[in-house]
Every structure is written in structure tokens, then in C-alpha cells.
A = this chain, B = another copy of it.
């Protein structure tokens, strides 16, 4: 796959009440273009990842919207697949480069969530789930709580295992100046935080976040290459799944990605995985082949994915501590891995990182998108 990354940037993630989506996007695109050394006229197409601008802000048509903001009149479209919108937009960008229709494409993700009432945000986020789930009144913490319960029951995963995901990701976020929560937390703090949907507590849950990220994909050789880009889907609702202790879409997308890239899980040095809730990172460790089925919790609790190990997961702080501006998340993941493989991640740099992976999930696992990157 001859896809290279020419540039990538992430905005500050957090409650950015004084910054518009326009400004967020202009900033990250400006930085990505600067890195790439490309003039904006070289960009052939724009893929915008966003989930909620229509339902929360009344603005659709974001492809043309941001093309105009950026001063382009190029082909542009919005891609949506719930919290996997960013990963899907990158996949579309990859197809654009591989098609040879475009030499350089810009993939931008943005979400502005904190201007709205949290109840309203929770409601529109349920657009990612099934009719039946919406009608039952469940929200995503409840759905992931069901996954956590099933895993705890079958494999003996503990609340402390869950908590250790958040503790590690907050630790990593301390080294990421763009993170929403760049401070450490303890297992005890997680366990004592308010229960949202048992067994998940407040500090098991990723926050609501404003932010943007941009990446430029190119067909000419650069130092970091995308060597796999895969997508798989599963049922929208949990009720239709055979097994609640695995995300089948992750497994399927991973299997094809490893084949496409010609690498194995043990070759991955650094990964950004979709930890919307702590249980999700445990499932990801297993479904991506990093830990044996049932042992994801122990694997993380023992610190095997923390900075300093041969595999480091969520150096950005993950969705939990870096923040989760839905449409931007999948693209932030790629920017993080791109920076790691470029050796420019500062205090959170993974030594000798050569192969990295991003894992972006939509809903409770109905969409999974995986990219594998390699430094050349």
C-alpha cells in the first residue's frame, strides 16, 4: 500500500467554549500543511469526519463547509460512522490515494460537544445504537457496563482491572499538553468515583470533549507509511450479538489488517485503541491479539502497556484522558502514532517505535476501523 503521511496535527482537547469548529479546523489544517511542506493548492480532496454537527448544531454539509473555510473548491464530503467517523474518513482518504484520482488528501475530524447540555449530547449519541436500545432508554455507559459485566462473569475481570485502564491513560496524558485531563489518578479514586452504570464509574468513562485533528495522506514517499487500512461491521445492538465478551468487528478488522500489513500483534510497538470506557480497552487488548482472551484486564493491570514496555497503548491518554471529540478521535489516534513513529513525541515517546496501530470503534462495536503504520 503506497500511502504516506505528509503531516498531522491535533488541537487542544477539552471544554473549548471560546473556540469555534472553524477555528479548530483551521488551526490543525494549518499545522498539518506546514509540516507537509505542501501548498494548500496541492490538496486534491477533503474528507471530514463528524457525527453531531447536524443534530447538535443544525449544520450539515460539512464537506463544502470546511472546503470554503479553508479556501478550497476541491471535492469534499462528510463521512459519519458514529465514534468511528474519524477512522472511516481516513479509510476513505486511503481509497482516494490508492485510486490515483488524488495525490494528496486532507482528512479532518472535528466535534464540538460541550456547548450543549450533557443530557442532550447523551441523547444524540444514542444515534449510534439500535432502535431498541434507544427505546429502552439505555445510553452508552449502560451498554458498555453490560459488556463489562459479561467479561467479569466469564473471566473474573475485576473493577480494579477496569480502573487500571483509566489510571494508565491518565498517567500517559500527563505527558500530553493537548490532553483534556493531564493529571494522574489512582485506582482508589476510580473505584470511589460515582457509579454511572454499574460496574462502570465516572472515571471509567471517557468525557465529552471539543477538539479537532487533521492528517494529510500522500502518494509520494515520506518517513511514515500506512500499511493497512481495514473496516469491519457488526450488529448495531448488543442484543443481536452471540458473544458480549468480544467485539467481533475489531477481531475481523484486525485479522485483515495484520494480513494486509504482513505484521503480527507482537510487532506492534505503540497503539492507540478505542477506550471510550475502560472495559473497551480490555476488550481491545484481547481482540487485537495483544493479550489472551480473558486476560486483557490482568495484562493492563500488570502495567504491560504502560510507557517503558515493548508495547505501549494510548500514549495520548486515550479517549479517557486525552478526551473524545467524537469525529476527531480516529484522526487524533493516527496523528499520535504518526508522531510516535517520527520520534517527536517528547516525554511520552516510545523508544524505537517502528510499527504502530490505531483502533477506532463506532457505537458499542458495530464499526471497527484499524490502521497500521510503519516508519520507513
Q: Contact residues of A with B, CB < 8 Å? A: 45, 51, 54-55, 58-65, 67-68, 72-82, 88, 91-92, 94-101, 123-124, 126-129, 131, 134, 229-236, 240, 248-249, 252, 362-363, 366-367
Contact = CB atoms under 8 A, between A and B. Distances in A.
Contacts of A54: 54-55, 80, 124, 127
A235 B65 CA distance: 7
A99 B88 contact: no
B81 A127 contact: no
A127 B73 contact: no
B236 A68 contact: yes
Oligomeric state, in copies: 2
Q: Label chain A's interface by main secondary structure.
A: mixed
A98 B68 CA distance: 27
Given A64-B233, A127-B59, A236-B64, A77 B80 contact: yes
Nearest to A94: B99
A295 to B, nearest CB: 26
Given A64-B366, A99-B95, A366-B68, A233 B74 contact: yes
A54 B53 CA distance: 10
A59 B131 contact: yes
Nearest to A240: B68
A95 B82 CA distance: 22
Contact of A232 (B59, B68, B75): B75
Contacts of A77: 79-81, 88, 91-92, 231, 367
Contacts of A233: 63-64, 67-68, 72-76
B99 A366 contact: no
Nearest to A249: B73
